[in-house]
Every structure is written in C-alpha cells, then in structure tokens.
Amino acid sequence: MSNLDRWKQFTQARIGLGRFGVSISTKDMLRFRMDHAKAKDAVVQEPSWDPIFDQLKLFSKLYGIQHQFVKSQVTSKQEYLLRPDLGRRLSEESKIKLDSSEKGFDLGIVCVDGLSAKAIDENLLLFLEGFLSKIETLHLKLAPLVVAQWGRVAIGDEISEILQSKICLVIIGERPGLSSSDSLGLYLTYEPKVGKTDEARNCISNVRPLGFPLPLACDKAIYLIQESISQKRSGVLLKDQMPKPKQSIDMKEDLSKLKSFREE
C-alpha cells in the first residue's frame, strides 16, 4: 500500500486524484458523477415512512413516548425546494392536530425529512434508539415525538411552541455533500417559538457512521440538553465544554500514524 493509499483510508475527501495531462482519470470522474447522483437522489426522494412508523410503535412500547405525523405548508417536493419559508411553518391541519394534544413538556423531539431521505432511512432510527435509551435516565417529561414531512429546521419551533416544550431537539436530514449523502443534523433550541433565529440553536452536524458517530452524537445531544436546562439558554450563549470523547484520543493516535506514514 502506498503512502497516499494509507492517507485515503482515513477520509472520504477527494485527495490524491490521478491525472492524465490536465484531466483527472476516468475512474475518478465516474466516481464523482456517481456521488453527485447519490446526492441528488437523497434530495429528491422521499423517506420510507412505513418501516419508520412501525419502529416508532415499538419505541412507544419500550420508552412510553407516543408519536405524531405532521406536514409543513409545502404541497410538493418541488415546492419544498423552491420555498424554504413554507417548510418552516405547519399546515393548518397539523396545527389543529397538535393543538388538541396534551401540553407542557421538558423536551420535544422533532424528526424532519429535510434534504436527505437517505439520512432518515439509514440513520434516524439508529440514532433514536440510542438517544431514547439514554434520555430516559434524565427523567424528563417528553412531548410526543413528532415526525414532520417537507420541513425545515425552524418547523420545530412552531411544533414545540404549540406543545409548550421548554427545549426542542430537531433531527433533520442534512443537505448532502458529494462524499456524504446520509448525514443527520441535530439542532437544540431553548424556549423555541416562531421567529427564533439560528444563533439561538446549538448544532451537531455530519451525524453518520463515517462522520460524527451516532453514539457520540447521542452523548453530545444529551450533554447540551442538560446544560440548556441548567443554564436556561441555547445557541451562542451556551458554550460546549463537554470533555473530549475517546474518539478525540483515537484521532490523535491516527494523526500520529499519519505522521509516521509521511516520514517513511
């Protein structure tokens, strides 16, 4: 294995691409086009909702948390891509549905398809399984888990405002990159309400097996929730001072290995 191949095993970034004259190799060009197609598919396709709802029923039995399905004001996938503003607000029907629910919770969990159906299909349930098993140890009063179709991050504010949740955690399919079309994003907001802006949120990004690992993302989210409750704030006012996880230690070891590769 060459030194360059050893570097490549640590990243999905496009490094060390082969060249013939001024052009990259056919293999790398085809790989680029395949990744572009995957990213496009992640955006335009819909998540497979039925198996997700089947699993959420099991979560209801295990953790005692009910779930509801709502829609934004968007009426089609094309409109969703062209009108982000409509994805931030609930449809009238969904407002009425939520308004008839019980109110007054510590934490609201809102799952949104966002811009990656693949992230929802492959990573949402895995994340929820780990998260719910850990969050129950905090003994918080959890709002019904809300699944929102064609939503943006801010739709969690309106949902949590209606349900009167003190904190909102939005789990959303992130905009795909050309090497990662399966990432989840987590957004934490204290005292969510319509009109909140992004500086009021804490974000955990690139949550996926080959990015920010799901177990570490669970721990980070729970840490931020505890700090948000304690300090009554979120976003730029809530500093992340969580002790570095073991992965950071492993990353140092990896960097040490990379350094030795360079010196060979």
60-107 pLDDT per residue, tens: 999 999 999 999 999 999 999 999 999 999 999 999 999 999 999 999
In the chain, % of residues over pLDDT 90: 78
* Confidence band, pLDDT 50/70/90 cuts, at residue 262: very low
| Whether pLDDT at 263 is above 60 | no
Identify whether the C-beta of residue 259 lies closer than 8 Å to the C-beta of residue 10: no
CB neighbours (10 Å) of residue 64? Answer: 10
What is residue 12's predicted lDDT score, i.e. its pLDDT?
A: 80
Identify whether the C-beta of residue 72 lies closer than 8 Å to the C-beta of residue 152: yes
Closest alpha carbon to 106 in 63, 158, 160: 160
- Looking only at the bridges linking them, the beta strands covering 201-207 and 67-71 are unpaired
17 vs 130, more confident: 130
Mean pLDDT of the chain: 91
| Whether pLDDT at 255 is above 50 | no
Torsion angles phi and psi, residue 58, rounded to 5: -65, -40
